[in-house]
Amino acid sequence: MTKEELVQEAFQAMKNAYAPYSNYHVGACVLARDGRTFYGANIENASFGATNCAERSAVFSAYSNGCRKEDIEALAIVSDGERIAAPCGICRQVLSELLEQDTPIYLSNGKDETETCIRDLLPMQFGMEDVIR
């Protein structure tokens, strides 16, 4: 699957966003090395802190179906905002543990597009090696 196709898959996932509070829609798609795809959308809640972001949903789905970081080829995250949706702080922390440092992360809002990776999105990481001594 090409990068453009993966981004389009994330736009399909965005249609499933449940965002009655923010009306801000985000979709994500994980591409596994074996060709499987895993989708996520932001799912909000009246107790706002219980909201789950699209990229966490997608990566949790990949893990829930047996993938681990080395099985993941790329992640696309798209939104309907004016600016491209760069992952929030909580998502960066989660992605820093669940993706390889250089796994491509494609960001798009249908207008602008960029490519990054978690090494660049989250410097000075707190991780497993800090906890397990």
With respect to ligand THU, which residue has the nearer C-beta, 60 or 133?
60
The smaller minimum CB distance to ligand THU, of residues 59 and 72, is found at 59
Print burial letters for 40-59: b (CB count within 10 Å at least 16), e (below 16): bbbbbeeeeeebbbbbbbbb
Task: Please give the single-letter amino acid code of residue 95.
Answer: L
Q: What letter represents residue 121's amino acid?
A: L
Which residue, among 11, 4, 26, has the nearest Cα to 104 in the 3D structure? 4
C-alpha neighbours within 13 Å on the C-beta side of residue 98: 23
Binding to ligand THU by CB under 6 A, coded x per residue (else -) over 41-70, reads -x-x------x-xxx---------------
How many CA atoms lie within 13 Å of 100's alpha carbon, on the beta-carbon side? 14
Q: Which of residues 93-132 bind ligand THU (CB under 6 A)?
A: none
The structure tokens listed for 12 are 């399909």
Active site residue 55: yes
Helices (H) and strands (E) in the chain, counts: 5, 5
Out of 14, 59, 91, 118, the only residue in the binding site for ligand THU (CB under 6 A) is 91
Which CB sits closer to ligand THU, 9 or 44? 44
Q: What x/- string results for residues 66 through 85 when contact with ligand THU is judged by CB under 6 A?
A: -------------------x
Residue 15 or 133 with smaller CB distance to ligand THU: 15
Contact positions vs ligand THU (CB under 6 A)? 19, 22, 24, 26, 42, 44, 51, 53-55, 85, 87-88, 91
- Active-site positions read 55
